[in-house]
Structure 1
């Protein structure tokens, strides 16, 4: 598994492979870790860089659809 030495741009959708392939939005670096936020909102989490990879187009589409659906239900601002 390649280590991504440089963090992605803020707001980029990435996958935490150590957390059941959970998709999150990259929000910054906390020490040696990446700080991710759930796409639908809520508490963020930290992930080791070795476990963070860019989301595929299909994963991005699913995450964005999930966010839109949650927004339409009033769950996300």
Structure 2
């Protein structure tokens, strides 16, 4: 789905540069961009939630647990 969303965003961008967009297309473009950004944020949060940090004393802290994803991992 992400590939289709990106392709459509690009298509609308190129059309806007050549001939302009209808109001409906502008709304679609804004919605697609919002959807894409939300997806990127979800993916990044998922990756960051799975990072373990080794402290100087040898203990391991999961950043997801430390910063908001409580209870996912316990090391």
Smaller-chain TM-score bracket: 0.3 to 0.5
TM-score, reference length from structure 2: 0.34
Q: Which one scores higher on RCO, CA 8 angstroms, separation ≥ 6?
A: 1
| Structure with larger Rg | 2
TM-score, reference length from structure 1: 0.33
Q: Could you say which structure has the higher strand fraction?
A: 1
